[in-house]
Structure 1
Amino acid sequence: MNKSGTLPSKPHFPILDGLRGVAALTVVIFHILEAHATSSLDLMINHGYLAVDFFFLLSGFVIGYAYDDRWGKMTMGGFFKRRLIRLQPMVVMGSVIGAIFFYFQDSPIWPKIHEVPVWYLLVIMVIGATMLPVTISMDVRGWNEMHPLNGPAWSLFFEYIGNFLYAAGIRKLSKAALAVLVAVCGIWLACYAITSERGEMIGGWTLSVQQLKIGFIRLLFPFFAGLLLFRTVKLVQIKNAFLWCSLILLTVLGMPRIGGAENMWANGIYESITIILVFPLIVFLGASGVLEGKAATGICKFLGDISYPIYISHYPLIYTYTGWVSKHKGITLTEAAPYAILTFVSAVVIAWVCLKYYDEPVRKWLQQKLMPVSKTPAPVGVPS
C-alpha cells in the first residue's frame, strides 16, 4: 500500500483479455446459429456453450492474480465493492435492454408473452437488475430461465457465488488443499458429463434442484482450477500465443458433436477433457504470451473491453432473432443470413455504446463515490 492508502494497480494479461473477447463473440454467433438447430446434436459451433466454463476458469485465474496477495490490506467489504463496481452496472443495463426488447417481441414460441402486464415486466426487470434469480412460477417467457429477460445472466449469478466462496474461505486454502478440492470437483464434473442423459454440460439457468446442480458443477471446477493454476504455474514467454490460443479455443468450441445420439457418453468425455485439460492449457499459454506490435495489442484491448458488455447484453437480440426464425418455418440459414449478420453487428454496436457511454462512466463514478482512494482494477470474470 502506498502513502496515500491506495492499493497499487497491477498490469492486465492482455492476451487473456483478448481470448475472453474471442469466446464472447463466439457465444453470440453460437446463439444466433442455435435458432436454426433442432437439438444439441445438430448445433453449429456445437460446443459453443462451453465458453461459459472457459470464462469461469479464466475468472478464477485472474481473481487469484488480482487479489491473492492483497488480503492483508483489503477487507471482504472492499473486495465485494470492487466486484460489484466491475460487474453490476452492465447487469442492470442487460436487464433494462431485456425488458425493452421483451415489450416488442412477438412469436408463436412465446404464446403468452403479450399477456404479461407492464407493471409485472418492470418487477421482473428490477429483480434481474439485482442479480437475484426468479422462480419458475415467475418466468414471463416460458423457457424456465432464472433471468427471463436476459438468459445468460445466470452465469453471472454463479460468478458472484464463486467470488463469495473465494473471499469467504477458499482463498485461505493451501495449494495442497486447493488441489484436493479441484480434483474432487473435476471428478464430479467428469462423472456428470459422461453419465448424464445427453452427455453434455448444457444447463444451469433454471432455479430448480437439477439445474442448480449443473450450475455448481460448471462453476466449481473451472473457477477454482483457474485459481490453482495461477498459484502453481510458472509462466514462460511464448510468441504468437494469442493466435495459437485463439485457434485452439475456436477449434474446441466449434468441434462437431462427438458420438451422436447412440453414444452420448463419448461427448461427455470430450467435454470433460476440454474443460479439465484444454482450457487450463489455453489460459496458461495466454498468460505466458507476449504481444508484439500495436495491431495485436489494439485487437486484444478491443476484444477485452467489449467481451463482458456483449456477453451480458446480446441475448435480448437473440430472443428477437429466434422469434423471427420461428415465424418463418423452413427458412434456411442462407436465406436468414442478412438478418443473422444484422443481429451480430447490432450486438457489437450495442455493447460498444453501452461500454463507452454507460459502463465506463458509471464505474468511474461508483469508484469515486464508494472507493475514492482505491485504484485497484477489478478484472472481469464471466463475461464472465
Structure 2
Amino acid sequence: MTDPLPPVAGPPKSHFVLLDGLRGVASLMVVAFHLFEAYAANDPQKQIINHGYMAVDFFFLLSGFVLAYAYDDRWDRLSVGGFFLRRVVRLQPMVVVGSLFGAALFAFQHYSIYPKAGTATPAYVLLVMLLGCLMIPLPKSADLRGWDEIYPLNGPAWSLFYEYVANALYALGLRRLPNGALALLVALFGAALVHLLVWGPRGDVIGGWALDSTGIRIGLSRVLFPFFAGVLLMRIGGRIRVPHSFAVSSALLVLALALPRMGGPERLWVNGLYESACIILLFPVIVAIGAGEQAVDGPSIRLARFFGRLSYPLYITHYPLIYIFTGWVVDRKIPPAQGALVGVATFVAALLFAYACLKLYDEPARRWLAARLLPRRG
C-alpha cells in the first residue's frame, strides 16, 4: 500500500508496487461480483464472476505479506502500541467514511429484501453509524436490514474487523514464532480452512459477517490461513520473476475469481476443493509473482500504482451503492439488459466516489494524523 506515513526508523525499503496493483484488480472484481450478485437470486450456480468473494481471502494474504515485510525486522525500534497506532491511522479514516456513506444512503434502501430497514428510526441509524465508525461489531439482533451484518450500514467492513484481529495476533505474539513453528501453525490453519470448504454446508468461503458461532468460525478460517501464510511467504523469500509479471499475475487472479462454480449443488465438496486450491496454492504463487518485480516505471507499473491507491477506498465505500442497486433489481424484477446500464453507472459512480475520497480525504487525513500521532522514528 502507498502510505503517507513516516517510516519506522531503519534502512529504507523498496515498495511492492505490483502487489498494490493486484489489490486494485481484486477490488474491481469485488465490485463487479456484487453487481452481478443482484441477479443470482441466492443461487450460487447463477453467479457471474462466481468466486469474486475470494478476493477478500486474497486481500488477507497480501496484508500478511506486506505487513511482515514492513515490520518483521523493526520490532526493536517499534512498540506494539506504535504498531497499532500506525494501523489505525492507515485503516480507520476510510472506515469512518464507509459508515457515514452507508448512513447517508440508508434512506434509499427500503426494499422488500431488507425486511427490517423500514423499522429503523433515524436515531438508531445514527447510533449504528457511530458504532461502525468505531469498528464496534453488532449482534444479529441489532441488524438494520435483516442480513445479520456486524456492520449493517457497510457490510464489507466485516473483513476489516478480522484484519484487525489478525494484526493483533501478529503483533502480540505470533510475530515471534520461528519459521518452522509458523509453518506448522499455517498448516493447521490451512487444515481448518479445507475442513470448512470441503466438509462444510456450503462448499465455499462465503460468510464471516455475522456475530454468531458460524459467522465467527468462517471469519477466523478466512483470515488466519491467508494472513499468516502471507507472513511466512515473505519470510521464506517467496519471489517468482516472470516476464510481464503484472499482466500474468492479474490474469491468474481474474481467472481464479471468474470461473464458474464447480461440482454443482449435489457435489459441493468439488467447489470446496477448488477454492482450497486457490487460497492455499494459487494465491501465494500470484503474490510471489507480484513480489518478484519491483520496477519503478513503465505503463503497467503506473497502472498498478493507480489502482493500488484506489483499492482500499473502493472496497470500503462501494457497498452502500450495491444495497440500492440490488434492492432495485430484485424488487422491480429489472431485466438484465436494463440492469446492465444502471450497473455500469453504479460501477463508475463507485470508482469516482472512491477516487474523490482518496484525493480529498483519505490521503490528507492520514498525513494529518501521522504528523500529529506518529513519531518520525519508531
Relative to structure 1, the CA distance from residue 35 to residue 190 in structure 2 (aligned partners, 3 Å threshold; closer, same or farther) is same
TM-score between both structures, scaled by the size of structure 1: 0.94
**Pair 1:63 & 2:63 matched:** no
How much does 1:328 deviate? 1.7
Cα distance in 1 between the residues matched to 2:268 and 2:106: 35
Name the SS of the counterpart of 1:318 in structure 2.
helix
Q: 2:123 aligns with which of 95, 119, 125?
A: 119
Show CA shifts across 1:46-91 (max 9, x none): 0000001000011000010000000000000110011000000000
Counting only pairs closer than 5 Å after superposition, residues 117-196 of structure 1 correspond to structure 2 as 117-196=121-200
How much does 1:11 deviate? 2.5
- Matched positions, count: 371
Q: 1:357 aligns with which of 360, 372, 376?
A: 360
Show CA shifts across 1:105-133 (max 9, x none): 22121244232111110000000011110
Show CA shifts across 1:170-207 (max 9, x none): 00000000000001111111111001112111110000
Name the SS of the counterpart of 1:106 in structure 2.
coil
Cα distance in 1 between the residues matched to 2:238 and 2:322: 41
Structure 2 counterpart of 1:202: 206
| Equivalent AA in structure 1 for residue 83 of structure 2 | F
Relative to structure 1, the CA distance from residue 186 to residue 111 in structure 2 (aligned partners, 3 Å threshold; closer, same or farther) is closer
Which deviates more, 83-92 or 35-44?
35-44
Q: 2:36 aligns with which of 33, 38, 45?
A: 33
| Equivalent AA in structure 2 for residue 342 of structure 1 | A
Cα distance in 2 between the residues matched to 1:83 and 1:328: 42
**Unaligned ranges ≥5, structure 1:** 377-384
Cα distance in 1 between the residues matched to 2:34 and 2:17: 26
Structure 1 counterpart of 2:18: 15
How much does 1:102 deviate? 0.5
Which deviates more, 364-373 or 305-314?
364-373
Relative to structure 1, the CA distance from residue 238 to residue 137 in structure 2 (aligned partners, 3 Å threshold; closer, same or farther) is same
Structure 2 counterpart of 1:381: none
Q: Is the 8 A contact 2:241 2:293 kept in 1?
A: yes
**Pair 1:318 & 2:325 matched:** no
Structure 2 counterpart of 1:230: 234
How much does 1:7 deviate? 4.7
| Equivalent AA in structure 2 for residue 79 of structure 1 | F
Relative to structure 1, the CA distance from residue 197 to residue 112 in structure 2 (aligned partners, 3 Å threshold; closer, same or farther) is closer
Cα distance in 2 between the residues matched to 1:362 and 1:11: 24
**Pair 1:245 & 2:243 matched:** no
Show CA shifts across 1:301-351 (max 9, x none): 11100000000000000001001102221x332221110001100000010
Structure 1 counterpart of 2:335: 332
How much does 1:291 deviate? 4.2
How much does 1:42 deviate? 1.3
How much does 1:237 deviate? 3.6
| Equivalent AA in structure 1 for residue 365 of structure 2 | V
**Pair 1:79 & 2:83 matched:** yes
How much does 1:288 deviate? 0.3
Q: Is the 8 A contact 2:31 2:347 kept in 1?
A: yes
TM-score between both structures, scaled by the size of structure 2: 0.95
Cα distance in 2 between the residues matched to 1:56 and 1:373: 28
Structure 1 counterpart of 2:97: 93
Q: Is the 8 A contact 2:14 2:294 kept in 1?
A: no
Structure 2 counterpart of 1:368: 371
Cα distance in 2 between the residues matched to 1:90 and 1:339: 26
Aligned-residue Cα RMSD (Å) equals 1.5
Relative to structure 1, the CA distance from residue 167 to residue 290 in structure 2 (aligned partners, 3 Å threshold; closer, same or farther) is closer
| Equivalent AA in structure 2 for residue 30 of structure 1 | F
How much does 1:235 deviate? 3.0
The alignment-based identity, stated in percent, is 50
Cα distance in 1 between the residues matched to 2:315 and 2:360: 17
Structure 2 counterpart of 1:259: 263
Q: Is the 8 A contact 1:190 1:268 kept in 2?
A: yes
How much does 1:266 deviate? 0.4
| Equivalent AA in structure 2 for residue 187 of structure 1 | A
Relative to structure 1, the CA distance from residue 229 to residue 342 in structure 2 (aligned partners, 3 Å threshold; closer, same or farther) is same
Name the SS of the counterpart of 2:72 in structure 1.
helix
Name the SS of the counterpart of 1:239 in structure 2.
coil
| Equivalent AA in structure 2 for residue 107 of structure 1 | Y
**Unaligned ranges ≥5, structure 2:** 1-6
Which deviates more, 163-172 or 192-201?
192-201
Relative to structure 1, the CA distance from residue 368 to residue 258 in structure 2 (aligned partners, 3 Å threshold; closer, same or farther) is same
How much does 1:293 deviate? 4.7
Which deviates more, 145-154 or 191-200?
191-200
Which deviates more, 245-254 or 290-299?
290-299
Show CA shifts across 1:278-309 (max 9, x none): 00000001100254753212101111000000
Q: Is the 8 A contact 1:237 1:290 kept in 2?
A: no
| Equivalent AA in structure 2 for residue 333 of structure 1 | P
**Pair 1:283 & 2:261 matched:** no
| Equivalent AA in structure 2 for residue 221 of structure 1 | F
Cα distance in 2 between the residues matched to 1:62 and 1:210: 29
**Pair 1:307 & 2:347 matched:** no
Cα distance in 2 between the residues matched to 1:45 and 1:124: 31
Q: Is the 8 A contact 1:240 1:289 kept in 2?
A: no
